[in-house]
A and B are shown apart, each in its own frame.
Chain A
Amino acid sequence: MKTIDRTGTASVTLPSDTEILITREFDAPAELVFDVWTTPEHVRNWWGWESDPMTVCEIDLRVGGTWRFVSVNEGFGEVDFYGEYKEIDRPHRLVSSEIFAPYPDSPALNTMTLEERDGVTTMTLLVQYETQEARDATIASGMESGLQHSLDRIDAILAGEQGRAS
């Protein structure tokens, strides 16, 4: 049952030079969140934008199995992600590699964890790149912003500055 509007509550932090951490809570059991994350019929309903139809959504959910999500964006053309499942511990943990097709030499390792408490499931999605350059290049490419580098303690520094300013 939904009680709280959680729209826009996902947070992004940069725990280190090579990592991105995304955190979000859902009012649903971990089992259901895991299913919706790992079943093509479900993924098609939330992965892409309504304006960007998914042309490929393949999931072979076993260790060594592969996944591939392709959607078509008017501006960018084909947005093609693929990878391999490394570790599956339903419904708590899923580790997979991820390659963004234009950057085959910059794979990421994604670790998705789910923790359910009192009907609320907290999802963490840790994206780890091999180098800082790989992280920044891959992400900047999808952002149009062209920004290359980030700061691991950016949030702490900015929060500190804003705290002082106010």
Chain B
Amino acid sequence: MARAATTTDAFNAVAEPRRREILDVLADGERTVNEIVEMVGLSQPLVSRHLRILRQVGLVRSRAMGRNRFYRLDATALQPIHAWVTEYERHWNERLDRLDSYLDDLQREETQ
């Protein structure tokens, strides 16, 4: 199965644990680079590099305010991943719904 390059694909971009940590931090609200550095305990150049990749795949947006730049999560890029989980869930729901109605049939037979 084809695999997209890290910097162009949201799935690969979030495969990196440190980038997920940064996303988790941003899920709670807008942050500056310095705040992120403090919260994830990585060096500033490293955080900036991760932020750049996350911005390239559209998972993170930024805006300048005065001398500060604020970064925030843009969850729309996560929609494909969400769709994947949803599809898997649908698959298991169909199977377990069948199991459910089969159990129901068995128990009804038993009481007759």
Residues on B with beta carbons closer than 8 Å to the beta carbon of A7: 93, 97, 100
Asked if B35 is at the interface (CB within 8 A of a chain A CB), the reply is no
**B27's contact among A32, A49, A160, by CB below 8 Å, is which?**
A160
Asked if A63 is at the interface (CB within 8 A of a chain B CB), the reply is no
For the complex, would chain B's binding face be called helix, strand, loop or mixed by DSSP majority?
helix
CA distance A132 to B75 in the complex (A): 22
Q: Is the CB of B1 within 8 A of A26?
A: no
Q: Is the CB of B11 within 8 A of A149?
A: yes
CB 8 Å contact bits of B2-37 with A (1 = contact, 0 = none): 111000010110110100100110011000000000
Chain A contact patch, size range: 35 or more
* Cβ distance A99 to chain B, nearest Cβ, rounded Å: 18
Residues on B with beta carbons closer than 8 Å to the beta carbon of A32: 103, 106-107
**A28's contact among B15, B17, B107, B111, by CB below 8 Å, is which?**
B107
Residues on A with beta carbons closer than 8 Å to the beta carbon of B96: 10, 22, 24, 123
Q: Is the CB of A149 within 8 A of B89?
A: no
- With both beta carbons as reference points, the residue of chain B lying nearest to A153 in the complex is identified as B24
Contact residues of B with A, CB < 8 Å? 1-4, 9, 11-12, 14-15, 17, 20, 23-24, 27-28, 73, 75, 78, 80-85, 87-89, 91-100, 102-104, 106-107, 111
Closest 9 CB pairs of A and B: A149-B11, A161-B75, A12-B89, A46-B98, A147-B84, A46-B99, A149-B15, A28-B103, A157-B27
Contact residues of A with B, CB < 8 Å? 1-2, 6-12, 14, 17, 20, 22, 24, 26-28, 32-33, 36-37, 42, 45-47, 49, 123, 132, 136-137, 139-143, 145-158, 160-162
